[in-house]
Amino acid sequence: MQYSLGFDLSTQQLKCVAVDQRMRTCAEVKVDFDADLPHYNTNKGVYIDGDTVNSPVGQWVEAMDLVMERLVASGLDLGLVVAVSGSCQQHGSVFWSEDASELLAGLQKGKGSLVDQLVPGAFSRPTAPNWQDHSTQKQCQEMEASVGGPQSMAQITGSRAHFRFTGPQILKVIETEPEAYESTHAITLVSNFATSLLCGKLVELEESDACGMNLYDIKGRTFHKPLIDLLESKRVAPTGPSLLSKLLGEPIKVQDTRSTPVCAGHIAPYFSERYGINPECQVYPFTGDNLATLCSLPMGNGDVMVSLGTSTTVLLVTEQYHPSPNYHLFLHPTIPDHYMAMICYCNGSLAREQVRNLLNVACHSPSQRVHPSDWHAFNDAVADDSLDTSGELGVYFPLGEIVPSVPAVTSRVLFDRGSGEILEHVHQFSDTRHDAKVIVESQALSCRVRIAPLLTARPGSFHTTVPANTMVKFDYDSMCLLDLVDRRPERCFFVGGASRNNAIVQRFAKVLGATEGNYRSENPNACAIGGCYKALWSYEAGRSGNCTEFSQFLHKNMPADDIARVSDPDEAAWDHYNHSIVALSNLEGELGKAK
């Protein structure tokens, strides 16, 4: 028996999951920052001061010992652990001091805990900016202006400048904390902070997570010199190493198909001496949590994951580098020459819940009152194929939306199915059941039109009455309707809270039109599991000298019951929704003008 471990260092907790060679979970432990380490006084793992959000680095260091202790207490034989990797919150940055390398290399069981040995000596800043920080508007503007605007920034780095991205965060430290910055010897993301801790040495950035910095030239696969130079030019009295040197040089590359995955090093002796972990255990570079989530499922080119949470997030694997200021592209952490696209919406379940509540009030007399959070009436409408919503469309944004970028708005329209032209704005449809179906259809349609440019065209036949050469525009992309509808996902995986709601999932699936079917995966540990799978796959490749393509490896080895097939492709339903695309383009165009 051999095990691999996957850590997940997220905002509120540090988890560790162990899987065996058959990819069965054998142990699962966690440390909750607020509850288990109350002396840091964090609120949900962070310190919030206005727009500024930081996490104490000491808390993560201390959590590492505690999670290891809990792993030992779980009864797992750590002597059988051969590989480790993991997932971390993205974008955060840890500032290490000049003494860091020596302190990491000198970690010893006899010298006390990790905190005793590393905090504060190894760090030049006690906290790490957290991804929820939004205090860097000035820096984002400066960085975008320097490369020619949001579109060029997205073209170079995979995303326009975002408050939470590491480049703007580092620039803010340069500008507002020059002393801390100059005394910094190394800057890591949270991912290579964790890798470094486990290896007992400073380990370079992992390339796919480095794409969340607004500093990395994704096509050139190197730091973008003009952006690095811009940050350098803002140092007032440079005394310490250059930025590139602080970033530990170029990141560890996602390997090409000819080589086996890069190993960051062996586990530091501290962990084998103290916790009995196999001293030969290999540590593989940790990556960002969204990237690791992708590694928890056998997803290849054209496969899409829809996370139906408070907000909706879409992750997909693509071969196309088609950046947009409205979403993010990262290099894929395990599949060479592929990218992960991430589209984040603000409005997800909150908006659906508002319609559900209205429907519960509307369809029950006071004597038959149902609980406001009862989904029966909502689901019944969403699943009802005979409920005719075909000339109806709506946007339901109780919160300002990211895609499309508009302030909070609700808008219902009737449109002409022959042309897609909007006929009339209405305050309500004939009844609230229509809203239930239309909100789910519109949310899914918005996903469908935005993932299309990232998918490979598969010319097929469709029967919409709208002329196929009609142009549609979504955000920054204008394309011909025919070109858009030909781009379909292969498989859709539904995850997150509302993925348990069959009516919502089935309706999303009908609109998205995946050609190979639809699946549900309910894994609360997806990030940690993605880390385990990356570790196991890397280890097997290193051991056998033969690197199986990552998604094939998962296909072959993953326990069958981890993923449930929820529906087959439904051509008629997919075709039915083609006619709504022009109408959505028109409706969003109007919202854009009203901004």
Residue with smaller CB distance to ligand XUL, 76 or 211? 211
Measured CA to CA, the distance from residue 255 to residue 244 in angstroms comes to 21
Residues, the chain? 595
**Beta-strand pair 282-283/81-88:** parallel
Interaction residues for ligand XUL, span 196-255 (CB under 6 A):
212
Considering the complex, state which of residue 215 and residue 541 has its C-beta at the smaller distance from ligand XUL: 215
Picking from 84, 81, 530, the residue whose alpha carbon sits closest to that of residue 285 is 84
Smallest gap, in angstroms, from Cβ of residue 185 to ligand XUL? 25
Supply the minimum distance, in Å, between the C-beta of residue 132 and ligand XUL. 8
State in angstroms the smallest separation of the CB of 450 from ligand XUL.
Answer: 16
Residues 155-194 that bind ligand XUL (CB under 6 A): 164
Query: What would the x/- binding string for ligand XUL be over residues 497 to 516, using CB under 6 A?
Result: --------------------
| Smallest distance from ligand XUL to CB 74, Å | 25
Q: For ligand XUL, which is the closer residue by CB, 288 or 323?
A: 288
CB of 400 to ligand XUL, least distance (A): 17
Question: CB neighbours (10 Å) of residue 170?
Answer: 26
> Shortest distance, CB of residue 96 to ligand XUL, whole angstroms?
21
Residues 6+ apart with CB under 8 A from 113: 62, 65
Task: Tell me whether the omega of the peptide bond preceding residue 569 falls within 30 degrees of 0, making it cis.
Answer: no
Pick the closer one to ligand XUL by CB: 89 or 278: 89
**Distance of CA 14 to CAs 81, 414, 531, Å?**
19, 49, 13
Q: Give the nearest distance from C-beta 551 to ligand XUL in angstroms.
A: 22
Query: Would you tell me how many other CB atoms lie within 10 Å of the CB of residue 160?
Result: 23
Name the one range near ligand XUL by CB under 6 A: 286-294, 465-473, 487-495, 542-550: 286-294
- Subset of residues 71 to 90 that bind ligand XUL, contact rule: CB under 6 A: 89-90
Q: Which contiguous run of DSSP H or E holds residue 83?
A: strand 81-88
User: Distance between terminal CA atoms of the chain?
Assistant: 60
The stretch among 117-125, 148-156, 283-291, 293-301 that binds ligand XUL (CB under 6 A) is: 283-291
For residues 333 and 513, which CB has a smaller minimum distance to ligand XUL in the complex?
Answer: 333
Output phi, psi for 401, to 5 deg: -105, 155
Which of 290, 446 has the CB closer to ligand XUL? 290
Does residue 89 contact residue 126 with C-beta atoms inside 8 Å?
no
In the list 4, 10, 272, 443, the residue contacting ligand XUL (rule: CB under 6 A) is: 10
> Is 290 a binder of ligand XUL (CB under 6 A)?
yes
Segment near ligand XUL (CB under 6 A), from 34-42, 253-261, 284-292, 471-479? 284-292
Q: How far is the CB of 288 from ligand XUL (least distance, A)?
A: 6
For the bound state, the minimum distance from the C-beta of residue 290 to ligand XUL, rounded and expressed in Å, comes to 5
Nearer to ligand XUL by C-beta: 281 or 527? 527
Nearer to ligand XUL, 329 or 587 (CB): 329
- Looking at residue 472, its amino acid is V
Residue 502 and residue 508: Cα distance in Å, rounded? 10
Size of site (CB under 6 A) for ligand XUL: 11
Contacts of 478 (CB under 8 A, 6+ apart): 471, 472
Q: Which tokens belong to 551?
A: 């998604």
**Token pair listed for 550:** 């990552």
Angle between helix 432-451 and 580-594 (nearest 10): 90
Residue type for position 151: Q
Determine, following the binding rule CB under 6 A, whether residue 131 of this chain makes contact with ligand XUL.
yes
Q: Is residue 321 within 8 Å of residue 369, measured between CB atoms?
A: no
**Does 534 interact with ligand XUL (rule: CB under 6 A)?**
no
- Measured distance CA(194)–CA(101) in Å, rounded: 14
**Nearer to ligand XUL among residue 67 and residue 82 (C-beta):** 67
Residue 89 or 127: which CB sits closer to ligand XUL?
89
Least distance from C-beta 447 to ligand XUL, angstroms? Answer: 17
Write the CB contacts of 121 (distance below 8 Å, at least 6 apart in sequence).
97, 99, 103
Specify the stretch interacting with ligand XUL by CB under 6 A; choose among 99-107, 282-290, 539-547, 564-572.
Answer: 282-290
ω into 120 cis (within 30 of 0): yes
Q: Tell the smallest beta-carbon distance from residue 529 to ligand XUL (Å).
A: 16
Q: Examine residue 135 and tell whether it contacts ligand XUL (CB under 6 A).
A: no
364 to 387, 438, 488: CA distances (angstroms): 19, 20, 40
Which region, judged by CB under 6 A, interacts with ligand XUL, from 226-234, 285-293, 535-543, 576-584? Answer: 285-293
The answer to whether 289 contacts ligand XUL (rule: CB under 6 A) is yes
DSSP 415: E
- Burial (CB < 10 A; 0-12, 13-18, 19+), residue 52, is middle
Instruction: List the structure tokens of 27.
Output: 């142990």
Instruction: Catalog residues that contact ligand XUL under the rule CB under 6 A.
Output: 10-11, 89-91, 131, 164, 212, 288-290
